[in-house]
Amino acid sequence: MNCNTRNGLVSTRTAPVPSVVAQSLLSDPFFAPFFGTSFAAPRARSGEALPLDISETATHTILRASLPGFSREHVQVEVEDRVLTITATRESNTDSSDETMIRRERYSGTVTRSLALPETLDPESVDAELRDGVLTLRLTKITPEKGRRVEIR
């Protein structure tokens, strides 16, 4: 059990509660079949979209995707109209032309994943790093503009 003090109030809980940003990402219709009403991790099955881990700090939301065997040159990250898209391509290669393939289990082809970014993330602030087969994307959180009172004349 964790004990946190925030604004002078003490709260206890057994597991962290996702913030509004994480809840917004997880409430995306794309995630619905995976998460339902809980935040349990989806089980990976072959042929599905690229699975992501989503976490956050006070200032950033962090997305991590496992891309083992993909080189930096074959991974693309794009943001267009508040939609973040990750695409990775791996070519199949046979080391020798005199080989006959008996069985192919290593993946070749393209994997892709797109998700809508909530208004609380800055789409211009995406920082991407591919290290040891893990693509890490850091997006800066922004404070949404508050409403304003309109004077009636």
pLDDT of residue 108: 78
User: What's the rounded mean pLDDT across residues 114-124?
Assistant: 92
Q: Closest by alpha carbon to 107, among 122, 88, 126?
A: 88
Residues 39, 114, 133, 22, Cα dihedral to 10°: -30
52-81 pLDDT, tens digit each: 999 999 999 999 999 988 899 999 999 999
> Domain ranges in the chain?
13-37+49-93+107-140
CATH of domain 13-37+49-93+107-140: 2.60.40.790
User: CA–CA separation, 113 vs 144, rounded Å?
Assistant: 26
For residues 61 and 141, the answer to whether their CB atoms sit within 8 Å is yes
